[in-house]
Amino acid sequence: MSIFCLVHGAYLGAWCWERLIPELEARGHQVIAMDLPIDDPSASLSDYTDTVIQSLQGVDDNVILVGHSLAGMIVPLVALQRPIHRLVFLAALLPQIGMSGLDQFYDEVAPNMLKEIGYEPPEASLFEQLGDEPDIYNPAALTMKQASQDEAVAMEFCFHDCEPDVAHWAISKLRDMRSLSHLTEVTPLQTLPDVEYAYIVCTDDRIVSPTWSKYAARKRLGVDAIELPGGHYPHISHPIQLAEVLTKGI
């Protein structure tokens, strides 16, 4: 038996794993999920990390830590503070030493949007290390309204591959995203943790570019991305297929 610790992304909460959890439990595994403080504007990467670590109190080291989307910036920090068997990045951002999330893709964002938030680009020499990487985001996703506040946006970018009843259920549960630390805070990582890695790329992802995901998984983590059909939220749209991928080889 393995213990899956599931860490959600933007607009979501522990509820987003409700369709995946029974599939993992049916395969004999234990599951832990938690709500990150995304609705707290002051929440830092450290606050996110502490929330995950608290959920793992009393748990042994046979933990498979799954980070979806923004949680890719958090789960390596957890793995530096407690034993983790495997880190799984699910359609996730990846931290880059010495940089914030936004530093990695500021050139994809319209200058007027950067000016509105008072963003200053990193030194050119710092950004040069990423110059060979494809764009991280679908350009349209960078200008969309908050999915939690616009149902049409949520349908187009988030839940386009869900059955209608599932999509409407998910939309009704979305939370406002008020903390931006995953974008604005320079990662405290000095090195990536020495653990086993996996990266799952969603081939019809309309938010994080599948091309970037595959490239970055190989370049930064040294693994070939596992391809899964569907959009950015496979734990909601394709829980059976995701459970099969997560438990393969365990």
pTM for this one?
A: 0.96
CATH class held by domain 3-247: alpha beta
Say what the pLDDT of residue 221 is: 97
Sort 111 into a burial class: Cβ within 10 Å, 0-12 / 13-18 / 19+: exposed
With beta carbons less than 8 A apart as the criterion, state whether 147 and 158 touch: yes
Residue written as token pair 């931290």: 95
Residue 190 is encoded by which pair of tokens? 């000095």
Break the chain into its structural domains and give their ranges: 3-247
- Identity of the amino acid at 86: R
In angstroms, the CA 169 to CA 204 distance is 21
Give residue 125's identity as a one-letter amino acid code.
S
Cα separation of the two ends of the chain: 8
What pLDDT tens digit does each residue of the chain (250 aa) get? Answer: 899 999 999 999 999 999 999 999 999 999 999 999 999 999 999 999 999 999 999 998 889 999 999 999 999 999 999 999 999 999 999 999 999 999 999 999 988 888 888 888 888 887 888 889 999 999 988 877 788 889 999 999 999 999 999 999 999 999 999 998 999 999 999 999 999 999 999 999 999 999 999 999 999 999 999 999 999 999 999 999 999 999 997 7
